[in-house]
Structure 1
Amino acid sequence: MSSSEKDVERLDRALLRLRRFLTAPPVLPDGNDRVELSTLLVVDAAVRAAPASVKDVAEALVVTHSTASRLVSTAVDAGAVVRAPSQADRRTMLVEPTARGLAMLQRAVEFRLARLEGILDGWTPEEVAAFAGSTERFADRATWR
């Protein structure tokens, strides 16, 4: 077995160990509320694709249009986003984050970043930069589309 094959096996084992880190619970505590992870994903998609249609949300989350529509409805019910008709095409509904949704998303990002900073404590800036670059490259190739 070549050293490259051994490294691929090491990577496989490491990714299996990371599954709990990468698998978020379906419902997250947020103060006195509980927020579905899908709601945060919808808000994130709406921010990144602004103005975002339900189709844009479906593509960002890699789900069907009907699933995205249901997830958007859940996010609307949670007060995280609103739907508004597009000015350009009245048949298209746009998904816009609310102040509440943006605040929930910000708290989630702060939590994740603090967790990563704790894990990376003791790494040099160069090591963090190299890991970030390699992980981005890996994620770009591994994303299901």
Structure 2
Amino acid sequence: MNNPHQPPPFLPNADPAGGNPAGAGWVGADAERPGGDSLGAGEVGVGEIGVVAAVEAAMIAIRRRQTRRTFAVESGGPDPVQEVLDAIEAAAPDPLGVNGVAAALGVDQPRASKLTAAAVAAGLVRREADQTDGRRTNLVLTPTGRAQLDTVHAYRRAHFATAMNTWTPEERSTFATLLTRFTTALTP
């Protein structure tokens, strides 16, 4: 069984640049390796290594841009505070507290608390007592916070639309479907 955290195996005589000198072009559990052996689930054939490498490169580029919070900054939003707004929005309709922000952002509780305090100070989030558990405090978007999220969403969507403006409606639809399937499959 393949480890999902390791790259797919490179097969003997595979061209790491993605070429397939044998011309086999096999991929997936229904395909066969040269010689008739079936591929296991998650294994990638030599003809697909270049495709997978291209996806990896694109994902790295996306991740670097997200790490810099480029869209939030370019649209006028405060950089680290945008992460808190995104986490609160993603958790809806469930309530989210500081510990939930920490988990969503993959940071420790003190860092999440600092980011949350900045969002509260900026008037984008307010703290609200949890009605089911008096020991908990939930974070709620203010109208200003909702407006900030709407601005960032509009900015992102405009950039995405520009990037796809030469695509046909069918290509856009296919891309949306496949990207959604891809990101869903990556979710643990």
Is the pair's TM-score, using the shorter chain for normalization, greater than 0.5?
Answer: yes
Q: Partners in 2 of 1:38 and 1:88 — Cα distance?
A: 30
Q: Which moved more, 1:104-113 or 1:126-135?
A: 126-135
Query: TM-score of the superposition, structure 2-length normalised?
Result: 0.64
* Matched residue, 1:103: 147
Q: Which moved more, 1:122-131 or 1:107-116?
A: 122-131
What's the CA shift for 1:16? 4.0
The yes-or-no answer on 1:28 pairing with 2:70 is no
Aligned to 2:160, the other structure's residue is in SS state helix
Residues 46/18 of structure 1: CA separation in 2 closer, same or farther (3 Å cut): closer
The yes-or-no answer on 1:124 pairing with 2:168 is yes
Percent pairwise identity:
31
User: Does the 8 A contact of 1:26 with 1:36 survive in 2?
Assistant: no
Aligned to 2:73, the other structure's residue is in SS state strand
* Matched residue, 1:63: 107
What's the CA shift for 1:102? 0.6
Aligned to 2:166, the other structure's residue is in SS state coil
Structure of higher RCO (CA pairs closer than 8 Å, 6+ residues apart): 1
Residues 113/53 of structure 1: CA separation in 2 closer, same or farther (3 Å cut): same
Write the letter of the residue equivalent to 1:76: V
Query: TM-score of the superposition, structure 1-length normalised?
Result: 0.80
Aligned to 1:90, the other structure's residue is in SS state coil
Q: Which moved more, 1:64-73 or 1:5-14?
A: 5-14
Residues 72/7 of structure 1: CA separation in 2 closer, same or farther (3 Å cut): same
> Which stretches in structure 2 are left out of the alignment for 5+ residues?
1-13, 15-45
* Matched residue, 1:10: 54
